[in-house]
Amino acid sequence: MSETVEAIETVRDEDVSVNGAEAGVSSTAELLVREGDIAGDYLERLLDLLDYDGDIDLDVEAGRAVVSIDGGEDLEKLVGGRGQVLEALQELTRLAVQQETGTRSRLMLDIAGWRAGRREELRELGRTTAEAVLSTGEKVRLQPMSPFERKVVHDAVAAVDGVHSESEGEEPKRRVVVIPD
């Protein structure tokens, strides 16, 4: 794992550049594409330093750049327990993009399909919890979650009539509470 940390620090310390990209980006779509390109270059160097195989896919979805890395056996090491390494790597990638563009990035990173799989688990958790609250009439507090996880659960609960959700607590122990209407 220290090899991963050293490689991340090496990539962070290097200058991030986009081949011939102009400093003035005229539209949001162009900025998001540029963010994806910068992030892709940054992550490509990280994979090279670690000697990990992986294919980088760049996309724009729901007003944010989305970068996915798939294909290599070692990629799970870049996810970590409960996605903690993935979250840290996403933040470092956002900082690299911000350093280059001068604007805060909302870039989303997924590695080895972990975030996509977790999203499905959380949708199911939100739906089943909402149904349980409907049947018992009692509110339910879920375990603490990351902002990404809470958003997915809130969206799933919002799709069920007769209940709503709120977040309570302070990071890192912030959690979703599902409440009957």
pTM of the model: 0.76
Mean pLDDT of the chain: 88
Q: pLDDT by residue (tens digit) across 31-59?
A: 999 999 999 999 999 999 999 999 999 99
Phi/psi-derived region of residue 65, left when phi > 0, alpha when psi is between -120 and 50, beta in every other case: beta
| SS3 of residue 117 by DSSP | helix
The DSSP letter of residue 80 is -
Q: Residue 125: exposed, middle, or buried by beta-carbon count in 10 A (0-12, 13-18, 19+)?
A: buried
52-107 pLDDT tens trace: 999 999 999 988 999 999 997 889 999 998 899 999 999 999 999 999 999 999 99
Average pLDDT over residues 15-29: 50
